C-alpha cells in the first residue's frame, strides 16, 4: 500500500514513516525541510527497499500545499493520508496576533481541512482510503498556554467528527487520535506527568488499527479518563495544575 504522511520527517510522523516502511508500504513524505526529506527518504528506501516520494511545502499556505501534494500523487495509487504536522509556540499565551496567529491556525486546522477536501473525493470514488488526524489533550479545556494551538485542535476534532459522519457507509476510513504527551521536540526537556510516550510505540498502535474502521479516541487510552477529570475539575484546581 502507499500512504502520504504530512509531517513525516520528525516526531510521530517520522515514527509512522519508519513503521509503515518496515511493513513494506510505499510512502509520500511531506515536510518543509527538503534536506531532511531527502535524508529520510534515502534511509528508508535503502533499509526497507521501498519507494519513497517527497513533497516539500509549507502548510502555512494550506491551499497551495494541498494542491502541490495532490499533483505529486496524481498518477500514484494511494491508500491513505496521515495528517501529523502541528505547530505550537512558546509565546502562544492569548496575545498572539497577525501572521503568527494565522500560521498556528493554518498548520493545525486549515491545512487538514484543505487536505481532506482535496483527497476525500478521490477516496470516495475509488471506494477506499484512510484519513488519519491528530488532536491534542491540550484541546480538552481552555488554558493559559498554547491558547491558539488548543483552539485550532478543538476545531480539528470537530472537523474530524463531521468527516467521520460524512464518510459513514462508504469505503473511507476516518481515524482521529487525541494525543497525550509524546516524546518529541515539542516536549523535549519538559518535566511532565505522565511522562511522554515513545512515538514508535504510538506508531505501532496506530498502524495496527488501519483497516479496523472509523473511530475517534485518546492515545494512550488512559488520557480518555484524564480528559474527563480535567473537563469536570473545579476551575481553581484546574488553574493550579494546568501546564
Ligand X SMILES: NC(=O)c1ccc[n+]([C@@H]2O[C@H](COP(=O)([O-])OP(=O)(O)OC[C@H]3O[C@@H](n4cnc5c(N)ncnc54)[C@H](OP(=O)(O)O)[C@@H]3O)[C@@H](O)[C@H]2O)c1
- Under the rule (CB under 6 A), what is the footprint of ligand X? 7-13, 31-33, 36, 58-60, 84-87, 107, 134, 136-137, 179, 181-182, 184-187, 196
For Cα atoms 186, 192, 193, give the angle at the middle one, nearest 5 degrees.
135
- Round to whole Å and give the CA distance between 64 and 81: 17
- When the beta carbons of 126 and 185 are compared against ligand X, the nearer one is 185
- When the beta carbons of 126 and 221 are compared against ligand X, the nearer one is 221
- When the beta carbons of 64 and 171 are compared against ligand X, the nearer one is 64
Compute the least distance from the CB of residue 157 to ligand X, in Å.
11
Task: Write down the residue that cell numbers 491551499 correspond to.
Answer: 63
DSSP string covering 81-145: EEE------TT-SS---HHHHHHHHIIIIIHHHHHHHHHHHHHHHHT-EEEEEEEEGGGSS--SS
Instruction: Specify the 3-state DSSP secondary structure of 156.
Output: helix
Contact by Cβ (8 Å): 9, 40: yes
Compute the least distance from the CB of residue 11 to ligand X, in Å.
2
Output b/e per residue, 215-228; b: 16+ Cβ within 10 A: eeebbbeebeeebe
Compute the least distance from the CB of residue 32 to ligand X, in Å.
3
**Of the candidates 32, 2, 29, the residue with the CA atom closest to the CA atom of residue 15:** 29
Compute the least distance from the CB of residue 33 to ligand X, in Å.
3
Compute the least distance from the CB of residue 58 to ligand X, in Å.
5
Compute the least distance from the CB of residue 172 to ligand X, in Å.
21
- When the beta carbons of 23 and 33 are compared against ligand X, the nearer one is 33
Amino acid at each position: 500500500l502507499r500512504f502520504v504522511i504530512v509531517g513525516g520527517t520528525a516526531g510521530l510522523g517520522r515514527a509512522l514513516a519508519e513503521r509503515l516502511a518496515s511493513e513494506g508500504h510505499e510512502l509520500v513524505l511531506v515536510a518543509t525541510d527538503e534536506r531532511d526529506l531527502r535524508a529520510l527518504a534515502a534511509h528508508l528506501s535503502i533499509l526497507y527497499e521501498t519507494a519513497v516520494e517527497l513533497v516539500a511545502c509549507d502548510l502555512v499556505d494550506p491551499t497551495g500545499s494541498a494542491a502541490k501534494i495532490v499533483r505529486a500523487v496524481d498518477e500514484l495509487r494511494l491508500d491513505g493520508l496521515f495528517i501529523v504536522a502541528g505547530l505550537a509556540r512558546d509565546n502562544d499565551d492569548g496575545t498572539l496576533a497577525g501572521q503568527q496567529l494565522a500560521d498556528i491556525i493554518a498548520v493545525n486546522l486549515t491545512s487538514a481541512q484543505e487536505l481532506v477536501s482535496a483527497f476525500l473525493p478521490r477516496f470516495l470514488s475509488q471506494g477506499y482510503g484512510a484519513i488519519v488526524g491528530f488532536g491534542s489533550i491540550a484541546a480538552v479545556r481552555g488554558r493559559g498556554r498554547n491558547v491558539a494551538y488548543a483552539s485550532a485542535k478543538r476545531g480539528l476534532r470537530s472537523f474530524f467528527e463531521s468527516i467521520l459522519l460524512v464518510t459513514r457507509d462508504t469505503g473511507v476510513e476516518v481515524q482521529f487520535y487525541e494525543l497525550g504527551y509524546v516524546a518529541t521536540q515539542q516536549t523535549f526537556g519538559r518535566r511532565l506527568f505522565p511522562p511522554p510516550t515513545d512515538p514508535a510505540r504510538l506508531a505501532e498502535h496506530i498502524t495496527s488499527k488501519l483497516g479496523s474502521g472509523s473511530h475517534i479516541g485518546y492515545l494512550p487510552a488512559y488520557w480518555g479518563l484524564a480528559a474527563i477529570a480535567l473537563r469536570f475539575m473545579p476551575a481553581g484546581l484546574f488553574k493550579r495544575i494546568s501546564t
